[in-house]
Copies of this chain bind each other. A is one copy, B any other.
Amino acid sequence: MNYKINFNSTFANRGMGLENDINETNKYYNQYDIALIYKKPTPIRINQTDYKHMRITDGFFESPSTLDYNGVYKGKYIEFDAKETKSKTSFPINNIHKHQIEYIKKVLKQSGIVFLIVRFSSLDEDYLLNGKDLINFLSTNGRKSIPLDYFKKKCYKLEIRYAPRLDYLKIVDKYLL
């Protein structure tokens, strides 16, 4: 595990998407012993293997039923997912799978810290949407999307910086711990 960050390439990679920003941020947290947070490997269903050569010869990606990132920060369990939308007015709820919503409820029951990082890519705006707020919104609204206005009022805005790129633990520290 080599977590040295090449700052030149880090800045050069700008605009490669939310997942890249989060991975860079997690590398930074790991390198400086701030937190230990990883993207989970995508689960793969394996149909056929060539045992002799230790190879997988037929498999496919399964859709994950949990969130993409988890780890530990100050002893606490953290889990989150990254979602992007091109919409300029709202975040469509069908971006979140039904089993992911059930899973968020389960993490909340275990007092885990759980949230979404939502990027409005056309607006260059990133928000941290707390899992509890999401569940509340879903249970009190019949809407198919969460308006940008809700994010502006109820969520936490994240700023892109040099390093760490997307310092979401600052928000966790301030509001979710």
Residues of A whose CB lies within 8 Å of any CB of B are 1, 30, 33, 35-36, 38, 40-44, 54-61, 65-66, 70-79, 99, 102-103, 106-107, 109-112
Q: How far is the CA of A59 from the CA of B75 in the complex (A)?
A: 35
Residue of B nearest to A33 (CB): B109
Q: From A75, A77, A102, name the one whose CB has the most chain B CB atoms within 10 angstroms.
A: A77
A103: nearest residue on chain B (CB-CB)? Answer: B1
**Can you identify 21 A-B contacts, CB atoms within 8 angstroms?**
A1-B99, A1-B102, A33-B110, A35-B110, A36-B107, A36-B110, A36-B112, A38-B66, A41-B42, A41-B44, A44-B44, A54-B61, A55-B58, A56-B58, A56-B60, A56-B61, A57-B57, A72-B112, A73-B110, A75-B76, A77-B77
Which listed residue, B43, B59, B75, B106, touches A55 by the CB 8 Å rule? B59
**How far is B44's CA from A109's CA once the two chains are assembled, in angstroms?**
31
Residues of B within 8 A of A107 (CB): 36, 72
Closest to A38 in B: B66
Could you tell me if B55 and A56 are in contact, using CB atoms closer than 8 angstroms? no
Closest to A54 in B: B60
| A41 CB contacts on chain B under 8 angstroms | 40-44
- In the bound complex, what is the Cα–Cα distance between A70 and B36 (angstroms)? 12
Partner of A77, one of B33, B76, B103: B76
A56-B44, A59-B56, A60-B54 known; A75-B38 Cβ under 8 A:
no
The complex places the Cα of A107 from the Cα of B72 at a distance, in Å, of 7
The answer to whether A112 and B75 have CB atoms under 8 Å apart is yes
B72 near A110 with CB under 8 A, answer yes
Contacts A1-B99, A41-B41, A61-B54 given; does A75 touch B35 at CB 8 Å: no
